Structure 1
Amino acid sequence: MTIDSAPIPVTLRWAVRLLWAEAAAVGLVAGWLVWADLTATSTDRLSALLVTVFAIGAAVVLWALGRGLLRRQAGARAPAIVLQLMLLPIGWFMIQGGLGWLGVPLMVLGLSVAWLLISPPTTRALGFE
């Protein structure tokens, strides 16, 4: 295995930063969910725990994908793009539910990170060209 000494392109650095920001945001939501699970008076415990575990897992996966991309592991790009594209239906349903102030930025974020991940400098840095 060789280590590429070329500098990491700006597009890849920003994609990683945004993935890590998403991981931090989902981590904060997971923390709130843990607190809500512990302080709830009546709830469906299994459903609450599954949602909490899902949020924790999502934060870990986003962080790991960012780390993989920073290490120029080409296999981290496709799952990262899929997760970003998943923000599109989430944002759409938020807009439909009256939360356009949150849905539109989520959609823009998803498209922006996906674009950064398929941009030519990132593609070259990950060894696809």
Structure 2
Amino acid sequence: MTTSDQAAPPPPPLRWAVRLLIGEAVALGLVAAYLVWQDLTATANDLATALLLTAFAVAGALALWALAVALRRRRAGARAPAIVLQLMLLPVGYYMIQGGLAWLGLPLIVLGLLVTALLVSPPTTRALGLG
């Protein structure tokens, strides 16, 4: 990829993928903040599990944010991990639907499929220097 390619604005699918990844990072960051608050104020039956869940949420938010930044900078290596994280939304959404939370599970599935489609689209592939 040449310097002029880097200077060109990113294609719309890549811009939207980055925006959605940032949105996911912020949403998961809010969940992590809530979990920290719960860890500090609630009576925990299993403190180790509570802290592990909180750490997992924090790590997920940071990973999504880092991948969004890397994709904004057109780092091709960030695409595959971002796709993996998006595909992880599919079973999460499925089990939410099975658990009676279809109002949340279905949008998660759609979001995961949408961001994956944006990341594998031909304009994004070319912008990342993969095609």
Does TM, normalized by the shorter one, top 0.5?
yes
Match of 1:120 among 110, 122, 130: 122
Which TM-score applies when normalising by structure 1?
A: 0.97
Q: Which residue of 1 aligns with 2:78?
A: 76
Task: Confirm or deny that 1:45 pairs with 2:64.
Answer: no
Q: In the alignment, does 2:20 pair up with 1:15?
A: no
Q: CA RMSD in A?
A: 1.1
- Give the Cα separation in 2 of the matches to 1:101 and 1:42: 28
SS in structure 1 of the partner of residue 7 of structure 2: coil
1:53-79 C-alpha deviation (Å, 9 max, x unpaired): 110000000000000000000000000
Alignment counterpart, residue 64 of structure 2, candidates 62, 81, 97: 62
**Structure 1 residues 73 and 96: alpha-carbon distance in aligned structure 2, compared to 1, 3 A threshold:** same
What are structure 1's unaligned runs of at least 5 residues?
Answer: none
Match of 1:27 among 10, 22, 29: 29
Shift of 1:6: 1.7
Number of aligned residue pairs: give it: 129
Contact 2:21/2:65 (CA < 8 Å) preserved in 1? yes
The alignment-based identity, stated in percent, is 67
Deviation above 3 Å: which 4+ runs of structure 1? none
The one-letter amino acid paired with 1:9 is P
Which letter maps to 1:117? Answer: L
- Report if aligned partners of 2:44, 2:50 keep a CA contact under 8 Å in 1: no
TM-score, normalization by structure 2:
0.95
**Structure 1 counterpart of 2:46, which letter?**
D
Secondary structure in 2 matching 1:80: helix
